[in-house]
Amino acid sequence: DTPVTCKGDVLRFAFAHFFANDDRYDAFCIFDADNLASRGFLRAMNSALCGGARVAQGRRDSKNPYDTPITGSYSIYYWMFSRFYNQPRSVWGLSATINGCGFMVSADLLKEMGGFHTKTMTEDLEFTTQCVLRGVKVEWVPEAVIYDESPQRFLPSWKQRKRWSTGLLQCLKLYAP
């Protein structure tokens, strides 16, 4: 009966439904409707899960890097984020950051956390923060690649960036103290 206003609400509902009706799931992989997963995505995430990962982020890439300068900019951002943020953090033994989609979370971790409970517009950053505060490392799985469709025009890109910035500020307000 609670209104759905963001992706976090959808994930909270979906996970509650799965747990209420069936206890057989080991893990869940999260994608957006416009994502394409590489052939080895599930195999790589399963290997990470079997290797002890409780939450893991795959490498995000673009479906349309050459469509417009805006989609090209998103592609560069994804490539840089993978190469210069998640990869070094992984090498140093630090947590990666969940980046919207293309991630896996174990059912056991969700049960321990009482489900998926985020409040901000950036459920990915907030869930990463919740994991880190619990001492759970987000593993980096670069061989698990997903392809995301980037906005082609300025206005949709601006709205998305504005939403991400708002969510970042919401996370800071909730978790910085």
CB environment 32-67: b (16+ within 10 A), e (fewer): eeebebbeebeebbbebbeeebbbbbbbbbbebbeb
For residue range 114-153, list pLDDT tens digits in order.
889 999 989 999 999 999 999 999 999 999 999 999 999 9
For residue 23, the model assigns a pLDDT of 76
Q: Which position has the higher pLDDT, 156 or 56?
A: 56
For residue 66, the model assigns a pLDDT of 95
Say whether pTM exceeds 0.85: yes
For residue 17, the model assigns a pLDDT of 80
Going by their DSSP bridges, the two strands 55-62 and 138-148 should be labelled as: parallel
